[in-house]
Chain A
Amino acid sequence: MGEGSMATKETKESVMRKPKILVVDDDPDLVRALRLRLRAHNCEVVTAGDGYSVIATAQKEHPDLIILDLGIPVGDGFVVLERLQSSDTLSAIPVIVLTARDPQTNEERAMKAGAAAFFQKPVDNDELLNVIRVSLPHRRSPEVPMLS
């Protein structure tokens, strides 16, 4: 655990910028832990704690990927998914749902609403990182770096 970085350091032309991940959760302690872990994997992390600020933050920061909790205040995760999907500029950003809610009643709904993956908390870190890796738009993560 811990060796794989999310961004390749160099390509032929230029230095790649780090993938930017927007972490959305109303539990600041969890957000802090996720930020530490993602930074250790060479990602830039921005955060939001409620449904309202997600859209504004996403528009301002242009993240490459969003990790979204469903049970957040001011418009829950499904409202956020809907807004992201209906936005021209934001609908292409992959969203990974990370929630305490029951997958049996929420996973299908989230996937239908446009989520790229669904995880129930607590999540295995390696699994989460793997899915982040494959969900990131290809131009910024050509391959899993530790393999190359």
Chain B
Amino acid sequence: MESQETRVLLIEDNPGDADLVRLRLIEGHAGVRVECANRLSDALISLSKEVPSLILLDLNLPDSRGADTFRKVMEKAPNVPVVVLSGQDDEALAIKAVHQGVQDYLVKGDVSSKQLERAIRYAVERQALLRSLEMVRKQQIEFKNQFLSHVSHELRTPLTCIHQYVTLLLDGLAGPVAPEQSDHLKTVLKSVNQLHAMIRDLLEATRAESGKMRVEPRCVSIGELIQQSVAMMQPTAREKRIGLEMGLDHRIPLVCADPDRILEVLINLMDNAIKFTQAEGSVIVKACLAEADPDFVYVSVTDTGRGIQPEARALIFERLYQDPDAVDNNRSGLGLGLYICRELIRLHEGRIWVASEPGQGSTFTFTLPIYSLPRLLAPVITYEGQLRPAFVLMRVDLEPLTSPPRGNWREIWQVCLDTLRRCVYLDKDLVLPPVATSGTAETFFVVASTDMQRAPIMTTRIREQLTRVADLNAKATLRITTVPVGLAAPDPGLSLEKQVERVADRVTEMIMTGLQEN
């Protein structure tokens, strides 16, 4: 730092103050170069060209005042130390700035060149220290996550071997097994499965922490997911003599959710509910709407178990939280399940919480966004308060040449969907969330803000990009059709919101008839 030139960006609108500070800077230290900006906008331009060693900042400028000024400067140059130049009368604001990450402040008219030099030196060095600490912290987190990820993969190899041999024995492929031996083997298998689930959770939690968890929302029926998960959990509930029921309102609209991940959340919540409920108790899974929150569906799992103490409720969704009463119950798990649930729901832009009365039971509730076409369409089909002039509904059909199990195609379809999304303009076209169709073909719909004359440009682009998806040509045929979204002459009296709804209704109608024809 000593040998290098210190570049100071002085952001100050008062020419007298600016000259004074510049003079102090230059007389105090030979290696200082000062650049001045007298407006925030000029300063931001200068910052995008060259990163200075330090910023001296007057908070009140012609185009920005107070706290806003340092927020904008720090957003633009997060790694550059900032020293605020404060007037006698706004020291309070300068102190507030220090709390929010500014390195220091100096009161104008009260500054000697020695003080200024020291303030600059300290600010620069403190900032460098902070940055290196932050870097070390990030490296440690990254190291820990890599380690956990590595460990959970390495554990899979011996686990696979145990699993294979236990199932070989159980299935009688290595000779007949006596009933008692079979029981013992089933116990081994149960523990193997528990271990497997723990390894999965460990990896999932690591992913959540490092922001690598993914969800792939589609347009799905939450009722079906609840039915599916209840059917999967019914044997466990029956074994413990717990009634597992559903309360489904059949008017529940479709939701935007990743079916596999929501199934995971439901099963996790039900598994906990059953675990903490005594025999003859009950667990109810419900889906309903809330008037106060019209954009979401509320899904809840209610048990008649022993409930959760108030102080535990705040912690229950945190990583590694263990119910202290459950620890003596053996096999309490890793304490990651609810944390993973929370992260999954958060990725769906929903919320999850718990209400509980100790001794009476608990209700875990989460919300999922309702699939609403007008809401999805509004930002792309309107421009400056008006509906765009024309729309085209584009349909992309991918028909498999053979009929493999659907599971194997999911990855390919996802690649197709991602490819489609890259082919359209984000601000004026919309690739609709995939519709769960019963057929073997996968169909994607795109609403494009274009007309029939220009639509071929887009279909060509889509065709070219999709045919580049590895192996798609060998596996499926591709058909793209475009239809204009025919709208009656817009009623000028109609609000924009209503017009968007009209387009959405029309698109839905076209999709429904299109799918029925197939």
The chain B residue sitting closest to A39, CB to CB, is: B173
Give the A-B contact count at a CB cut-off of 8 A: 84
A46 at the interface (CB under 8 A from B): no
B residues in contact with A100, CB < 8 Å: 153-154, 156-157, 160
A residues in contact with B173, CB < 8 Å: 2, 36-37, 40
The chain A residue sitting closest to B155, CB to CB, is: A100
**Restricting to B151-172, which residues have a CB under 8 Å from any CB of A?**
153-154, 156-157, 159-161, 163-165, 167-168, 171-172
Given A122-B196, A131-B408, are A29 and B161 neighbors across the interface (CB < 8 Å)?
yes
B411 touching A121, Cβ below 8 Å: no
A residues in contact with B157, CB < 8 Å: 27, 30, 100, 121
The chain A residue sitting closest to B200, CB to CB, is: A120
B179 at the interface (CB under 8 A from A): no
B461 at the interface (CB under 8 A from A): no
A residues in contact with B250, CB < 8 Å: none
14 A-B pairs within 8 Å (CB atoms) are namely A37-B171, A37-B173, A40-B173, A100-B156, A104-B214, A108-B414, A111-B412, A111-B415, A114-B471, A117-B407, A118-B411, A122-B163, A125-B171, A135-B404
B404 touching A111, Cβ below 8 Å: no
CA distance A120 to B207 in the complex (A): 17
A residues in contact with B470, CB < 8 Å: 111-114
Selected from A1, A33, A114, A118, the residue in CB contact (under 8 A) with B161 is A33
A101 at the interface (CB under 8 A from B): yes
Given A27-B157, A122-B159, are A131 and B405 neighbors across the interface (CB < 8 Å)?
yes
A residues in contact with B161, CB < 8 Å: 27, 29-30, 33
Selected from A37, A40, A102, A107, the residue in CB contact (under 8 A) with B411 is A107
Closest chain A CB from B165 CB (angstroms) = 6
Closest chain A CB from B64 CB (angstroms) = 44
B residues in contact with A55, CB < 8 Å: none
B residues in contact with A107, CB < 8 Å: 411
Which residue numbers of B lie inside 8 Å of A, CB to CB?
A: 149, 153-154, 156-157, 159-161, 163-165, 167-168, 171-174, 192, 196, 203, 207, 212, 214, 403-405, 407-408, 411-412, 414-415, 470-471
A120 touching B156, Cβ below 8 Å: yes
B residues in contact with A118, CB < 8 Å: 411
A111 touching B160, Cβ below 8 Å: no
B471 touching A36, Cβ below 8 Å: no
Selected from A33, A102, A117, A121, the residue in CB contact (under 8 A) with B168 is A33
Task: Flag A22-63 by CB within 8 Å of B: 1 or 0 each.
Answer: 000001011001101100100000000000000000000000
B471 touching A112, Cβ below 8 Å: yes
A134 at the interface (CB under 8 A from B): yes
CA distance A117 to B471 in the complex (A): 13
The chain A residue sitting closest to B199, CB to CB, is: A122
A residues in contact with B203, CB < 8 Å: 102
A90 at the interface (CB under 8 A from B): no
B residues in contact with A36, CB < 8 Å: 168, 173-174
Selected from A1, A27, A34, A104, the residue in CB contact (under 8 A) with B171 is A1
Closest chain B CB from A72 CB (angstroms) = 12
**Restricting to A109-148, which residues have a CB under 8 Å from any CB of B?**
111-114, 116-118, 120-123, 125, 130-131, 134-135
Selected from A40, A114, A121, A125, the residue in CB contact (under 8 A) with B156 is A121
Selected from B149, B160, B404, the residue in CB contact (under 8 A) with A102 is B149
A111 touching B164, Cβ below 8 Å: no
Given A37-B164, A112-B470, A114-B471, are A122 and B404 neighbors across the interface (CB < 8 Å)?
no
Selected from A37, A102, A111, A130, the residue in CB contact (under 8 A) with B405 is A130
The chain A residue sitting closest to B214, CB to CB, is: A104
B residues in contact with A111, CB < 8 Å: 411-412, 415, 470-471
Selected from B156, B164, B207, the residue in CB contact (under 8 A) with A104 is B207
Closest chain A CB from B365 CB (angstroms) = 29
Closest chain A CB from B171 CB (angstroms) = 5
B residues in contact with A114, CB < 8 Å: 470-471
CA distance A135 to B405 in the complex (A): 9
CA distance A33 to B203 in the complex (A): 27
CA distance A117 to B475 in the complex (A): 13
B residues in contact with A112, CB < 8 Å: 415, 470-471
Selected from A1, A113, A117, A122, the residue in CB contact (under 8 A) with B164 is A122
B149 touching A30, Cβ below 8 Å: no
CA distance A118 to B174 in the complex (A): 27
- Please name 10 further chain A to chain B contacts, defined as beta carbons within 8 Å, in addition to the given A2-B173, A114-B470, A121-B159, sorted by A numbering: A1-B167, A30-B157, A30-B161, A100-B153, A102-B149, A121-B160, A122-B159, A122-B163, A123-B160, A131-B405
CA distance A1 to B166 in the complex (A): 14
